[in-house]
Amino acid sequence: MTAWLPMLIPAIAGIATFALGESRGRARNAVNLTAAAMSMALVARLVVHAYNGTVVASTIPMLPGLELGMSADLLGLLFAAVATVLWGVTLVYAIGYMDHAADRARFFGFFALCIAAANGVALADDPLSLFIFYEILSLTTYPLVVHTGTPEALAAGRKYLFYALGGGAALLVGVAWLATIAGQTPFTPGGALTTVSGRTAELRVIFALMVAGFGVKAALMPLHGWLPGAMVAPAPVSSLLHAVAVVKAGVFGIIRLVNELYGPDLATSLGVATPLAILAAVSIIVASVIALRQDDFKRRLAYSTIAQLSYITLGTALCSPLAAAGALAHLAHHAVMKITMFFTAGSVYETLHVKKVSQMPGLARRMPLTMASFAVAAFALAGIPPLVGFASKWMLGVGSTQGGSVWALLVYVSSGALALGYMVPILTSALREGDHAPARGAESDPRMLWPIVTVGVLTVVLGLTAGLPGSPVHWAMTAIAPSFGGWTP
């Protein structure tokens, strides 16, 4: 039962939020924050268990011959931890951000449900369970995307659904097909399809279908179209979409698919890993180049997200242990960096109504702490040591080279240069002299400011401690090692 709780606690919090209604704001905040704290404590406990070799798991019967299963293994817990911890941070931020907004019950309710679904994706023990929570995630995100109810928001929501449900359909067929071939296939490090012999053509098609399904949320080009549009959502939602739950669910699905469903060996011998890697590499470069040209702050961040997600996909698809571990670590690292950036985007919009990079001159003086945090995250994203992005980029690069894919290394380093290229102009624009006069008093609502500073500091701290036991890097290596039997980090 414990394995269900990381999913159930936010779900209950979400339903309670609906039940409390619009007017009882204090109670709503208390419920959500308490739930976040409880989830964090719970995940922490599960992590300790998992590190000690005890994987808490539980299943219930669902469809004929198939069970719905949850299992708190290290791999899933990494994602669950990211989602849960950043949920807590985002809650504080969102309470500040949505201070004067309408429909907060709806907002916070679906927000919690999203996290529940993300945790479900994280801990799902088999493709079917993963698919179910993956689709729930699509659905619970929709109300958040269209939250403001404006025509742009509705259009973005429509686009989001078009992609998400299309991907979901592909995934459904893939998962169902696999079930007809192989029955129940709980994720197993190194591959769960040992019982299937032959049928290579079918397995290839299934792999492609599943990649198409996960690729939508992972914003793998050309399935990325929804992401930039979905930027019309309120900033906490963008943060959630981009940093925490939604897109990470996609790449996490790919991680599970390659490492624990097919397994690196089968994925390589079927010849499906390399095309995926190439697709990811193209996404990295193309998205980075497009990001260079965006004036809209959040759109620029969105394209950056597309590129960064493909870091993870590429690292996974290389089927080299250190690259796979780097990819998993980057899942956490990118979350921290990108949430800092989206918090910043939201804060400057909410405080000064700045939406474009070209409107930023003067911002560095007007909101120094905010922009400093952003700068740290930006450099981290470009992979400047000793910040957090460097650790994963180094792992990914070393992993690519060890796996004999020097081209992937070159993609990673080029993308790092491009990241500087699209991040630095934001900083330089903010540093120019401009219309925004230095703030008298606080630079923004403290409930927005301190979460930004917190995650900004986190990008430094996680970078400095990347080599220590318990860091995402170490965690990722421990979680990935079993998929490459015999590999010891």
Partner 1 sequence: MNVLAQLPGLLVVVPLAGAAISFVAGRRRAPHVALATALTVLALAVALAVHVLDDGPFRYQVGGWGAPLGIDLVADGAAALFLVLTAIVGLVVTLYATAYFRTDDETAYGHGLFWTLWLFMWTSLNALFLTGDVFNVYVCLELVGISAVTLVTIGGGAEALRAGARYLFASMLGAMTYLLGVALLYAATGQLDMDVLRTTLVADTTAATGLALMIAALVLKTALVPAHFWLPAAHGSAPSPVSAVLSSLVVKGSYFVILRLMLDVMPADYLPGVEIVLGVLGSAAIVWGSVQALLQTRIKQLVAYSTVAQIGYLFLVFPLARHGADVLTLALTGVLVHALSHGLAKAGLFLGAGSLMTRFGHDRIADMGGAVRSAPALTFGVALAGVTMMGLPPSGGFGAKWLLVSAALASGEWWWAAVLVTGGLLAAAYMFRLLSVLLKDTPTELHASKGDARTEWLPLALALGAVLLVLAIPLVSNLAAASNVLIHAGVTP
Partner 2 sequence: MTPILPAGIRSLTFSLDETGTPFLILFAFLWTISALYAFATTPAGERARLFAYFVPSALGGVTVALAGDAISFYLCFALMAIPAWGLITHARTAEARRAGTIYLTLTAIGEALLLAALVIMAVEADSLALPVLAEAIGTSPLRDITVALLLASIGLKIGTLPASGVLPLSYTYTPAGAASALAGASAKVGALAMLRLLPAGVMPEEWSYAVMALGMATAFLAAILGTLTTTPRAVLGYSSASQMGLILVAAGVSLTSAEAAPLAYGAIVAFSLHHGLAKSALVLGDDVVSRLTGRARTAALAALALPALALVGAPLTSGFVAKYALKDAVHALHGTVPEAVYALLPWTAIGTAALMLRYFVLTRERTAETHVSPRVPVALWSLVLAAVALVVWMWPAHWNVHAIESALSLSSMWTALWPGLIAVAGWMALRYAPRGARRLNGIVPPGDVLLGLAAAVRAADRWLAGRSRSGGVTARGERADIAPALRATERSAVAWTAASTLFVLLVLLLVALSTR
Binding site residues, partner 1, CB under 8 A: 18, 61-64, 102-103, 106, 128, 131-133, 135-136, 138-139, 142-143, 146, 148-150, 154, 157-158, 161, 165-166, 168-169, 172-173, 176-177, 179-180
Encoded amino acid at 348, one letter: V
Cα-based torsion angle of the residue sequence 324, 327, 333, 334 in order, rounded to the nearest 10 degrees: -170
Q: Write each residue from 246 to 285 as x if it is in contact with partner 2 (CB under 8 A), else as -, in one continuous string.
A: ----------------------------------------
* Cα torsion 149, 151, 153, 159: sign: positive
Residue 385 partner contact from partner 2, partner 1, none using kind-dependent CB cut-offs of 5 to 8 Å? partner 2
Give counts: helices (H), strands (E), the chain: 20, 2
Tokens 């659905």 belong to 139
Give the tokens for residue 412. 């990673």
Picking from 10, 121, 81, 73, the residue whose alpha carbon sits closest to that of residue 336 is 81
Within 8 A by CB and 6+ apart from 20, the residues are 27, 28, 31, 105
For 70, the enclosing helix (H) or strand (E) is strand 66-72
Interface with partner 2 (CB under 8 A), residue from 391, 430, 458, 480: 391
- Does 222 sit behind a cis peptide bond, omega within 30 degrees of 0 on the bond before it? yes
Nearest approach, Cβ of 82 to partner 1 (angstroms)?
A: 23
Do the beta carbons of residue 424 and residue 302 sit within 8 Å?
no
Least gap, CB of 181 to partner 1 (angstroms): 9
Q: Name the residue nearer to partner 2 (CB basis): 106 or 365.
A: 365
Nearest approach in angstroms of CB 480 to partner 2 is: 13
Contact call for residues 257 and 317 (beta carbons, < 8 A) = no
For the record, the structure tokens of 482 come out as 């079993």
**Contacting range for partner 2; rule: CB under 8 A; set: 61-69, 93-101, 415-423, 451-459:** 415-423
Rounded to whole angstroms, the Cα distance separating 277 from 256 reads 15
Instruction: Give the footprint of partner 2 on residues 430-459 (CB under 8 A).
Output: 432-433
Give min distance, CB of 302 to partner 2, in A: 16
Using the rule CB under 8 A, give the single segment among 154-162, 255-263, 279-287, 410-418 that binds partner 2.
410-418
Contact call for residue 465 and partner 2 (CB under 8 A): yes
Pattern 314-333, partner 2, x by CB under 8 A: --------x-----------
135 binds, among partner 1, partner 2, none (CB under 5 to 8 A by kind): partner 1
Of 139 and 439, which has the nearer Cβ to partner 1? 139
Nearest to 357 by CA among 279, 266, 422, 285: 422
Give the Cβ contact number of residue 159 at 10 Å.
Answer: 17
Q: Is 479 in the site for partner 2 (CB under 8 A)?
A: no
Q: Which does 158 bind (CB under 5 to 8 A by kind): partner 2, partner 1, none?
A: partner 1
Residue with Cβ nearer partner 2 (58 or 414): 414
3-state SS class at 80 = helix
Q: What residue ranges bind partner 2 (CB under 8 A)?
A: 293, 322, 379, 382-386, 390-391, 393-395, 397-398, 401-402, 406, 409-410, 412-414, 416-418, 420-421, 424, 428, 432-433, 463-468, 471, 473, 489
